[in-house]
Structure 1
Amino acid sequence: MIDELDVAFEEDAESGGSRRDPRARKSRGRSAIALFLTLLLFGVLGGGVYFGYTKVKSFFVAADYEGSGSTPVQVTIIKNSSLTEIGNELVEADVVKSTKAFLNAADAEPRSKNIQSGTYVLRKQMAAKQAVAQLLDPNTRISRGVTIPEGKTARQTYDLLAKATGIPVKDFEAAAKDPEALGVPDWWFKRTDGRPVAKTIEGFLFPSTYEFDPTANAQQILRTMVDQFLTVTGQLQFADNVPRNLGGIAPFEALVVASLAQAEAGVAADLPKVARVAYNRAYKNKIPLQFDVTTNYWLQLNGKDAKHSGKLTAAEMNDPKNPYNSEIVVGLPVGPINNPGKSALTGAMKPPTASWLFFVAVDKQGRSAFASTDAEHEKNKDKACANGIPLSDC
């Protein structure tokens, strides 16, 4: 029986029924190992790709803080700063972690283009999104823009500055006593026409909108305005172009003319024309300017109110004690009578070529008509009266 079973087993094995081929077992073993190695390789590659992605992503994701920040800090944004410059300033103050994070947050906020210059109370290590929101919140801005219009006198300027900063007018008056200490170079106070020089700050406080540091004192504020005057006149090459264009006239004299034009011209287009009249009367024809604004300036210096031209008295206009008198004195006044803007400075530097000696406002928009003769001037005055301009001759 056993023999029969042995024979049956051997026959079954030979016939391939349940008998295993050793070569098949080896092949399946190699396949399993290959599969394992393949999976292992994909795992390694997948981990590498993820690691690489993480590393690459870190180069493009801007570093940023989280939350609303910690310690309060003041940050001053300079006028006309770009968003990049603002971001750099915030990074410097450790308000945001990176300029890129700030730019991303600003790009996501359409109002970010409205961020104004000034001094803000922010917090260190703020999320960039929070920093943008704070810069757009007017309550975080502790300094306000101060606008000084063109043609304001130094005294009027002190009043505006005092109201905006809380610094007393007397502090500005004290600081202004020494223009050179405020940065006005001494060569500005030179004339070639032989007339006296009023060594004052008048004319050098450039009219503009300023953002002053809340801790700035009167001297620092006035120095900033003088610096702006020097910047603008430097850009215009005023000191070089005036003597070149006007036959040796000193820059100071042209500054005086710019202030006269600023006070007399009713529209910007007339600024260079009024300057031409002043030059013609003072230098070419050597006759008094007869600009009423110089009388009014003297009244204001003495604490009195300015008057309409038709209401000035003969005594006021002919006052021999007035160093700014242009009614009876030939030549330009001893100094500027206000602080002229860029257009007035440009007009005084490059006046048109003309023989005008007279001008008068002829319409309610402030435009003037210019004349070279008395007869032409009389016709212009008739035109002014017909247009309802209140002249003393009407």
Structure 2
Amino acid sequence: MQMDELDLAWEEEERPRHRRRASAPARSKKKKGRGGRTFLAFFLSLLVVGGLAFGVYAGIDRIKGLFSAPDYDGGGTGEVVVEVISGQLAADIANTLQEKDVVKSAKAFVEAAKKDERSKKLQPGFYNMRKQMKASAALTLMLDPHSRVVNKVTLAEGLTWQDTFKKLSEATKIPYEDFEAAAKDPKALGVGDVWYTRKDKKERAPGIEGFLFPATYDFPPNVDAVGVLKIIVQRFNQEIEKIGFIDAVQLLNISPFEALVASSIAQVEGLDKDQPGIVRVLYNRVYSGKFPCNCLQVDSTVNYYLRITGKGAKPSTELLQSELHNKNNPYNTHDNPGLPIGPISNPGTSALTAAMGPPKSDYFYFLAIDTAGNTAYAKTYAEFQKLWDQAQKNGVK
């Protein structure tokens, strides 16, 4: 609308000048009263020229206002927290700053960022900012490491819920017990109904294990335990959707929860490259009907129970028979058929992907063949024994 008004103003200034030129010859023929009229014309001309000059000045000033970015002066006041999300462009950040009234216009911040090469080093996270700052001052503050709210924690693949809560508590200063209380209702945290059924009709563990997706998180300030766990479960849901986990495992005639259990075992049993082969052995043992009692017979599930009950994990060679065959252990896979009642770790993308479509094979055994963790496979127990002897020679315990 301002540009239209400027155009109209310039048109109105032009019309009188054309009319004066057209009538000039007629006036020049009149002799009477020439001096007074000449003075009057001269005076009016001064007014017109002055008015035109003022109009030009005002017009230029208005045009400059249209193309310059509105900006605050000074360093701002008060406090406001601003989040920079991974993958955002300068314009996205600028819009957020304008919405929070940190800068007067997004354009001013974008222009400041273009002039400062350091803006390329701006990191995702939360920043303590002030309201109504000059755009260049806002950028400088965001580039100051001390302005960043650090609530960052990296959750590695294969952690248990207990290990996860410990790391979260250390990073956020939220009591460990708060996380335990928040985890009692996984559905309220975002765990969907699809994860609450099993095709094998076995009992299902009710906890949060398996849904605490391993990644690096930067939590907002003043968040509570529920908020933290919701963010982590949301990240799990996003990853599951991204890789198409649910649809893929259902094509295998396996429930998503059972596949999650299998991936959690593969996560702690082998390297990323070996996880598909490990999952295939698990599926062969449980679903083929060709393995004794359809039992997994893996020590990692026994060790998981020892960990969550405060006893600590052991090397396989040190596990007691009473621990391997403990009837009170719901994760006893040496005697109980099928997959255990729940995940034994929180698997990452590699292990989740492995459970979606492991390569077909006739293997029923796997083991770490060396101290680097590489996995070897066998079809029969006799072959497995030979591999075990080799593994011991390689220093595997």
TM-score scaled by length of structure 1: 0.82
Aligned partner of 1:308 among 315, 322, 328:
315
How much does 1:240 deviate?
1.8
Query: Pairwise mapping of residues 246-261 of structure 1 onto structure 2 (< 5 A)?
Result: 246=252, 248-261=253-266
Matched, 1:114 2:128: no
Q: CA RMSD in A?
A: 2.7
Distance change (3 Å), C-alpha of 1:379 and 1:41? farther
Partners of 2:237 and 2:281 lie apart in 1 by 26
CA distance in 1, matches of 2:188, 2:162: 18
Query: Paired residues, what number?
Result: 357
Segments of 5+ residues of structure 1 without an aligned counterpart are 1-35
Q: 1:272 aligns to what?
A: 276
CA distance in 1, matches of 2:307, 2:366: 24
Gaps of 5+ in 2: 1-42
Per-residue deviation, residues 296-325 of structure 1 (Å, max 9, x unmatched): 110111112112222222211111111011
More deviation, 130-139/358-367: 358-367
1: CA distance between counterparts of 2:281 and 2:215?
27
Q: Please give the alpha-carbon distance, in whole angstroms, between the structure 1 residues aligned to 2:100 and 2:229.
A: 27
Match of 2:154 in 1: 147
Deviation at 1:41, TM superposition (A): 9.8
2:220 aligned partner: 213
Q: Deviations over 1:101-149 (max 9, x none)?
A: 2122222332323322332211111111111111121211223222111
Letter in 2 for 1:389: G
Separation in 2, partners of 1:39, 1:149: 81
Q: Find the aligned partners of 1:147 and 1:104 in 2 and give their Cα distance.
A: 35
**Aligned counterpart, 2:179:** 172
Paired residue type of 1:64: D
CA-to-aligned-CA distance 1:149-180 (integer Å, 9 cap, x gap): 11111111100110011111111111111212
Q: Secondary structure at 1:215's aligned position in 2?
A: coil
For 1:258, the aligned partner's letter is: S
**Equivalent position amino acid for 1:349 in 2:** M
> Could you tell me how far apart the structure 2 residues matched to 1:309 and 1:108 are?
61
User: What does residue 104 of structure 2 align with?
Assistant: 97
Q: CA deviation at 1:363?
A: 3.5
Would the alpha carbon gap of residues 310 and 136 (structure 1) be closer, same or farther in structure 2, given more than 3 Å must change? farther
Alpha-carbon shift at residue 379 of structure 1 (Å): 4.3
SS across alignment from 2:77? coil
Instruction: Give the partner amino acid of 2:277.
Output: K
- Report the residue type matching 2:188 in the other structure: A
By how many angstroms is 1:333 displaced? 0.4
Within 1, Cα distance between the matches of 2:387 and 2:61?
Answer: 80
Task: Mark the CA change 1:132 to 1:295 in structure 2 (over 3 Å): closer, same or farther.
Answer: same
**Take 1:53 and 1:355, find their aligned partners in 2: how far apart are those partners?**
82
Give the match's secondary structure for 1:90: helix
Give yes or no for contact 1:79–1:211 (8 Å, CA) kept in 2. Answer: no
Contact 2:240 / 2:246 at 8 angstroms: preserved in 1?
Answer: yes
Letter in 2 for 1:272: P
Give the secondary structure class of the aligned counterpart of 1:343.
helix
Secondary structure (helix, strand or coil) at the match of 1:71 reads strand
- Given residue 132 of structure 1, which amino acid in structure 2 is its aligned partner? L
2:368–2:396 contact (8 Å) kept in structure 1:
no
Conservation of the 8 A alpha-carbon contact between 1:238 and 1:251 = yes
Quick one: which of 349, 352, 359 aligns to 2:359? Answer: 352
3-state DSSP of counterpart to 2:339: coil
Aligned to 2:396: 390
Deviation at 1:334, TM superposition (A): 0.5
In the alignment, which residue of structure 2 is the partner of 1:331? 338
Question: For the structure 1 residues 389 and 42, does the alpha-carbon distance in structure 2 shift closer, same or farther, using more than 3 Å as the test?
Answer: farther
Structure number with bigger Rg: 1
**1:182-197 equivalent positions in 2, closer than 5 A:** 182-197=189-204
Deviation at 1:95, TM superposition (A): 0.4
**Structure 1 residue aligned with 2:388:** 381
TM-aligned CA deviation for residue 237 of structure 1: 2.6
Residue type at the aligned position of 1:75: V
Distance 1:46 1:149 in 2: 71
- The range that moved more, 287-296 or 170-179, is 287-296
Letter in 2 for 1:175: A
Q: Displacement, 1:275? A: 0.9
Q: Equivalent residue of 2:149, what SS?
A: coil
Percent identity over paired residues: 47
Partner of 1:262: 267
Going from structure 1 to structure 2, the CA distance change for 1:363 and 1:99 (only over 3 Å counts) comes to: farther
Instruction: Pick closer, same or farther for the CA change 1:365–1:106 going to 2, 3 Å.
Output: farther
